[in-house]
Chains A and B, each alone.
Chain A
């Protein structure tokens, strides 16, 4: 022991101790560097996997939107077929027009094969679109379509091929976020579609804007945000609706000059039919269900992903969290848009903010079944 003590006090011992200290420091640096390098590499793989999974899911989504165009072509053909059958039914009554109009209408109704309704039912089940039916409750849950389910299935497979494990737990897709719909609805596979009614093809009625200036700043209000001001000297005077949650509720407003002149509408311009005729036609066309179109206008098709990649760094299991989103941009979905360019998928960095701002139902399960967000 004494000799070891003596050795460590000598120059050789001092050098040996210093070398051992360096070895220890370098070992710590090595281990830290190795773990940091592994973690960095794993994080990059997770980010890449997240992006590629979303791009793949977006490709399936875009393909589905192209299918919607095809189905709308089929619908238009069925409408033409139905009209042809009805036209043949009323043909015998044409010589007696206009006296035979009631009989012709009855004959047309009886001859109507309703092929279009079958195609619409097919679209409803295929793409998960609620079929408008005035007899049913409008708050009824929307159907889950076959194609959105296929989209989810394909997306999970893409995630698996990109290195995610246990994808049902670790990979969560969110459809069309941010959404006004509640909590878990955005987790249900959805293509943001709806059926269009015939009256939507008519030109929009010119909307009126109202405004007031408060402390030098002009504030605008739409027609449904104002009410008559009950002013006996000026019956046209309007005010901000008193039950509107606005600091200006009850204040008088001024009518703005119409920004949308009637003559600017191409349909009105080409047909020469004025807005008053459109107004008469609108209630008649409201009950006619046409083709499938975007749920929102301007169209909004988005897909987001929160993915967690499991791995080990050293002896510790870690989970890397990554979020991303894709936007799909393209033209319309109507039959006449068949030759339009396909929908393009654009990748975009996504933050957790849309998830945290989701309106939650009380007592609903958490949107993401992971214990920690700070991974």
Chain B
């Protein structure tokens, strides 16, 4: 009986680990999928770049409970995104370039009327059944994606 009592927690621990792994991977895939969906919305002109983090958050929906609220951070790498060849720009500069000022002939504003972003997205995931003493702030998921759209200033 004593041996059984010793073995049982160990088996339960492993079963818990299996469930934890399953949920963790499902959450990771959902995170990748949510980032892709938000980028697709941006490409179709349905989303302004400022709304990207919120759209990622909404896309996590079935697994939203496992993510730490407010932990989604988006960094713009903006490399090789035209017309900034090889340059890095601050988010404010980048936003200015994505939303050119409206003119009487907006189509003539720039010859290369497409532009986009190279985002690095991070989010923290905290599976309840995991080992809280090991991952007190959750595990950080990270991904990179890039998108161009035409015309670059298109908004709903």
Interface residues of A (CB under 8 A from B): 11-12, 15-16, 18-19, 22-23, 26, 29-30, 33-34, 36-38, 40-41, 44-45, 47-49, 51-52, 55-56, 58-60, 62-63, 66-67, 154, 157-158, 161-163, 338, 342-345, 347
B146 contacts which chain A residues (CB < 8 A)? 52, 56, 158, 161-162
Task: Determine whether the beta carbon of A22 is less than 8 Å from that of B33.
Answer: no
Task: Determine whether the beta carbon of B150 is less than 8 Å from that of A48.
Answer: no
Contact of B17 among A30, A59, A345 (CB under 8 A): A30
Tell me, in angstroms, the Cα distance from A15 to B40 when the chains sit together. 55
Contact of B147 with A by CB under 8 A? yes
Tell me, in angstroms, the Cα distance from A29 to B21 when the chains sit together. 10
* A59/B14 contact (C-beta < 8 A), A11-B3, A161-B80 known: no
Contact of B22 among A33, A45, A51, A59 (CB under 8 A): A33
Contact of B76 with A by CB under 8 A? no
Task: Determine whether the beta carbon of A12 is less than 8 Å from that of B21.
Answer: no
Task: Determine whether the beta carbon of B32 is less than 8 Å from that of A45.
Answer: yes
> Chain B at the A interface: mostly helix, strand, loop or mixed?
helix
Contact of B143 with A by CB under 8 A? yes
* A55/B149 contact (C-beta < 8 A), A40-B29, A48-B35 known: yes
Task: Determine whether the beta carbon of B28 is less than 8 Å from that of A15.
Answer: no
Task: Determine whether the beta carbon of B113 is less than 8 Å from that of A55.
Answer: no
Task: Determine whether the beta carbon of B25 is less than 8 Å from that of A55.
Answer: no
Residue from the set B36, B111, B116, B143 with the largest chain A CB neighbour count within 10 Å? B36
Contact of B7 among A19, A37, A48 (CB under 8 A): A19
Please list 21 pairs of residues, one from A and one from B, whose beta carbons are closer than 8 Å in the complex, sorted by A's number. A11-B3, A22-B7, A26-B15, A30-B17, A48-B39, A51-B36, A52-B40, A55-B40, A55-B148, A56-B148, A56-B149, A62-B114, A63-B114, A154-B148, A157-B80, A158-B148, A161-B146, A162-B144, A162-B145, A342-B151, A344-B44
Contact of A52 among B24, B39, B82, B154 (CB under 8 A): B39
Tell me, in angstroms, the Cα distance from A30 to B16 when the chains sit together. 11
Task: Determine whether the beta carbon of B24 is less than 8 Å from that of A37.
Answer: yes
Task: Determine whether the beta carbon of A59 is less than 8 Å from that of B36.
Answer: no
Contact of B14 among A26, A58, A62, A347 (CB under 8 A): A26
Contact of B133 with A by CB under 8 A? no
Identify 11 new A-B residue pairs, CB closer than 8 A, beyond the known A56-B146, A60-B150, A63-B114.
Answer: A11-B3, A16-B7, A19-B10, A22-B11, A22-B14, A23-B14, A37-B21, A60-B114, A161-B118, A162-B145, A344-B44
Interface positions, chain B 5-57, Cβ under 8 Å from A, are: 6-7, 10-11, 14-15, 17-18, 21-22, 24-25, 28-29, 32-33, 35-36, 39-40, 43-44
Task: Determine whether the beta carbon of B29 is less than 8 Å from that of A41.
Answer: yes
> Chain A at the B interface: mostly helix, strand, loop or mixed?
helix
Task: Determine whether the beta carbon of A345 is less than 8 Å from that of B43.
Answer: yes
* A37/B145 contact (C-beta < 8 A), A29-B18, A51-B36, A342-B151 known: no
Tell me, in angstroms, the Cα distance from A154 to B147 when the chains sit together. 11
Contact of B155 with A by CB under 8 A? no
* A55/B32 contact (C-beta < 8 A), A22-B11, A60-B114, A66-B107 known: no
Contact of B4 with A by CB under 8 A? yes
Tell me, in angstroms, the Cα distance from A33 to B18 when the chains sit together. 8
Closest chain B CB from A336 CB (angstroms)? 14
* A51/B40 contact (C-beta < 8 A), A19-B11, A59-B116, A162-B146 known: yes
Task: Determine whether the beta carbon of A59 is less than 8 Å from that of B3.
Answer: no
